[in-house]
């Protein structure tokens, strides 16, 4: 009988424990997830020129040459640079003037054949001509004999290259143009 009483008593404790334990409710709460997806940024530029340009030299004439640098929409604020490299004989035959809005390098931190400007993402205009009036001028001092001495290997050449570097070091501090040029590694 003791066993039956003990089993009955144990069964009763389990039933009462289940009723009491089952009726207790704990207050809880859970938030929705906050998911942060970090995206990339960048600077995209293009350098284009008309393909059908007639680059024939005639003394005293201007020749259309229209390199255009564009900072594409979606690019971060940047320093935009153009480097103009002339062949050794270029200045004997041709001249040009840089377009408005460009600042010439000082020859120390930025080479003097490099020109630059700041371009902000909110700027309305993001395409820039490189040469004033999109032209080069054949010097009046060029003679027939000078031109006859040329061949395809030594024709005067002007090479334009564009570069861009981010404008800001961090949320508040901008790179100087010289620091940005150094970032490019030229």
Does a structural domain hold residue 93?
yes
**In 3-state terms, what secondary structure has residue 16?**
helix
Query: How much is the average pLDDT of 46-58?
Result: 92
Please state whether the predicted TM-score (pTM) of the whole model is above 0.75.
Answer: yes
Q: Whole-angstrom distance between the N-terminal and C-terminal Cα of the chain?
A: 100
**Tell me, what's the pLDDT at 106?**
95
pLDDT grade for 173, boundaries at 50, 70 and 90: very high
In a domain, 38, yes or no: no
Contacts of 71 (CB under 8 A, 6+ apart): 43, 44, 45, 78, 80, 119, 126, 127, 164
In a domain, 78, yes or no: yes
Total domains in the chain come to 1
Residue 173, domain extent? 50-177
Q: How far is CA 34 from the centre of its chain?
A: 31
Q: What is the mean pLDDT of residues 11-30?
A: 68
- Does residue 32 belong to any structural domain of this protein? no
pLDDT band at 25 (very low <50, low <70, confident <90, very high): confident
Question: Worst-scoring range by mean pLDDT, 23-37, 38-52, 111-125, 135-149?
Answer: 23-37
């Amino acid at each position: 009988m003791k066993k039956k009483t003990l089993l009955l008593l144990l069964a009763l404790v389990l039933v009462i424990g289940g009723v009491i334990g089952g009726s207790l409710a704990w207050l809880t709460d859970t938030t929705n997830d906050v998911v942060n997806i970090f995206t990339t940024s960048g600077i995209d530029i293009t350098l284009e020129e008309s393909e059908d340009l007639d680059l024939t030299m005639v003394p005293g004439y201007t020749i259309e040459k229209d390199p255009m640098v564009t900072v594409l929409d979606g690019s971060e604020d940047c320093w935009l640079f153009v480097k103009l490299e002339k062949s050794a004989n270029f200045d004997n035959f041709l001249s040009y003037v840089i377009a408005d809005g460009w600042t010439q390098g000082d020859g120390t931190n930025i080479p003097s054949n490099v020109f630059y400007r700041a371009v902000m993402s909110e700027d309305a205009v993001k395409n820039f001509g490189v040469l004033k009036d999109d032209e080069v001028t054949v010097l009046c001092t060029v003679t027939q004999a000078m031109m006859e001495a040329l061949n395809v290997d030594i024709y005067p050449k002007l090479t334009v290259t564009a570069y861009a570097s981010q404008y800001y070091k961090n949320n508040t501090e901008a790179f100087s143009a010289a620091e940005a040029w150094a970032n490019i590694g030229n």
